[in-house]
Chain A
Amino acid sequence: MGGLLSVTLAACGPHVEGHSVATHTAIDGKHIDERQVSLSAVSVPEGASELGIVQAHTVQGSIEDAVPEFRKQVAELGGDFGKIDDVATKFETETRTRTESYSCGTVNSPRSCSRTVTETVELATTRIIGKAYRLGASPAKTQNVPGGAASAGVPPANLPTSAPTVAPATPERASNAP
């Protein structure tokens, strides 16, 4: 599995994956396009209702790779607003073996030889975790239904939206879900 991931990383760039768990259900079941999802790392707008927990992570990528997946997971829960609670990076080392070829002949009789090379690489996994909300709607409560939404696509979405203002005196809003 690790070897397959390494090959994937080498061939296709960063690996991105996302998951979500619904804690409440959006009352209207309206389809939300991920491009409609706005984000904040500071606050949740007044009147927003919590829908679930969302996480996205990327291996050998950056937040620019993980955030589109985060938006997608928010949209899949029926949310149009995502609050990013934490961004963290973890590192792990992995030993890879590969075969490489090199010239080993002379000018007059060129030859190609191969050798096995073992190298240790460090893989960085950046994870974003937060919550999905619907702005201005009351959700129906569910019993921690796993959303199970996992995917590996990275749609191009990075939409500047509203601009929350920092007000440290005001505590961060908790969910207004029943």
Chain B
Amino acid sequence: MNAKSVVFFAYCLLLIACGTTTTHSVLTAAPGAPRLGEVQILMGDDAPPPGLTEVGIVQAIGHGTNADLEHVVSGLKEKARELGCTVVAKVKVDQGSSTASGTGICLRP
């Protein structure tokens, strides 16, 4: 096995070992400015704080080792910050064997 093959297999192993998380959004209204800070996650039917404005639907999809609740929720929060949201409401996470998907409604002040 030559050096090129070793590098190639090492790269393949790295790809298999590392998962990825992709985030997606569909805007239903104008987003806010990107922000830092905490984003509140409200699961299922938990009522969001009043007075917030809907920005859109956000989705995070975790693949491989990222196909878990932690990475999906982290992806939702990251996307929410990009859109200026402080709350992601009606969050639902669907789990597969090598993929997990979470969706929620992005709300901003």
Contact = CB atoms under 8 A, between A and B. Distances in A.
Given A122-B99, A166-B48, A40 B54 contact: yes
B29 to A, nearest CB: 3
Interface residues of A, number: 32
B16 interface: no
A169 interface: yes
A169 B50 contact: yes
Interface string B44-81: 00011111111111010100000000000000000000
B94 A42 contact: no
A55 interface: no
A114 interface: no
A160 B28 CA distance: 5
A163 B54 contact: yes
Interface in B1-41: 22, 24-31
A89 interface: yes
B26 A67 contact: yes
A88 B105 contact: no
A173 to B, nearest CB: 15
Contacts of A165: 51-54
Given A41-B28, A158-B27, A163 B53 contact: yes
Interface string A126-148: 10000000000000000000000
Contacts of A62: 22, 24, 59, 61
A41 B59 contact: no
A6 to B, nearest CB: 16
A64 B26 contact: yes
A124 interface: yes
Contacts of A169: 50
B55 to A, nearest CB: 7
Given A88-B94, A91-B99, A41 B57 contact: yes
Question: Which 4 interchain pairs have the tightest Cβ spacing?
Answer: A91-B96, A163-B29, A89-B101, A62-B24
5 contacts: A40-B54, A41-B56, A88-B94, A163-B54, A166-B53
